[in-house]
Structure 1
């Protein structure tokens, strides 16, 4: 018998987030706003996702860790220079 996988909340920091492949029964859950990827900031409890300097979605850090892949970046939610 295998042990269940434990998911830790996303630690504080700035990340590039990519949603996992959607599950057909998920329904609307905010992943569309983040797809194909977005900057995000975590305080270890809450994660805010941004595109073009605007917040597009937010969720708790445990949900984010379970449903997105993350790569650390130096800053998030900052407008990009044109």
Structure 2
């Protein structure tokens, strides 16, 4: 029997987030707020997503790591309102 896959939380940093794959954008899961992509900031426990400098959604860092792809960005490139 194989071990279940362990998902590590998204590390502290600034990222560009995109959903893993296309999916119906229905229900209040927050993915539609991030689609097709958004800047985000992780403190290693919680991830806050931003569009046009406004917070649009947040989730825990493990959920984020499981459901989105991330590319690190420098703080100068991120359009967030910390």
TM-score, L = length of structure 1: 0.85
Q: Structure 2 stretches of 5 or more lacking a match?
A: none
- Matched with 2:7 is 7
Mapped partners of 2:67, 2:15: distance in 1: 14
- Matched with 1:71 is 71
TM-score, L = length of structure 2: 0.85
- Matched with 2:36 is 36
Mapped partners of 1:60, 1:36: distance in 2: 20
* Deviating 4+ runs (over 4 angstroms): none
- CA offset at residue 23 of structure 1? 5.3
- Over aligned residues, Cα RMSD in angstroms? 1.8
Q: Structure 1 stretches of 5 or more lacking a match?
A: none
